[in-house]
A = this chain, B = another copy of it.
């Protein structure tokens, strides 16, 4: 039995949910609010961050890139030619570079700003920094996402999928970040047709359905969030 500690609008958690779904894993979900720093959860992951995966009575598998390697090592072989990890070490390196690019660089420069300011601050008590979004931070995130969309468009325009000829974990990592921002309507889809066409392909996969059903109380999804022909 697999158990995933996650938050529905944590992009790294979304990446974990996508990979688990692509591998047809049955998962029990536990929603964690990392800002609460719940003592029992800190025992599981001293970093206090989501996602964390636990299989049966095994040790915690903490962090999306760590979960990725674990899922591939334990279940990748059974995927045959649907495997999300490329075969060659050089192609794996390019895929892993992009997973870190989206999980770290894109996340810090774009997703974290948008999601923290517009979603998490609705849930975080004001004593811990919750409240109204900071418009200066949102402005910076809006400038940054344009550069990043161009890079995604360049990758998607020069390759079939972001890391190469086949869909890989890199596509899921990137789409997970974008999906959280798309909920609040902050992805300028008009900017780059290659990026938009690539995202439409990832979004239409059955593994995406769970994400498209997520809701924030008091904040409806943008009109195109669950629309496959956005």
Contacts and interface: CB of A to CB of B under 8 A. Distances in A.
A190 B6 CA distance: 38
A47 B92 contact: no
A33 interface: no
B105 A93 contact: no
Nearest to A55: B90
A197 to B, nearest CB: 21
Given A59-B94, A101-B47, A105-B47, A89 B66 contact: no
A69 B73 CA distance: 13
20 contacts: A46-B151, A47-B101, A58-B90, A59-B93, A61-B90, A61-B93, A62-B93, A63-B96, A65-B65, A65-B96, A66-B96, A67-B93, A69-B69, A69-B89, A69-B92, A69-B93, A69-B96, A70-B92, A70-B93, A73-B89
Given A66-B97, A104-B104, 19 more contacts: A46-B151, A47-B105, A59-B93, A59-B94, A62-B97, A63-B100, A65-B96, A66-B93, A66-B96, A66-B100, A67-B93, A69-B89, A69-B93, A70-B89, A70-B90, A70-B92, A70-B93, A73-B89, A74-B89
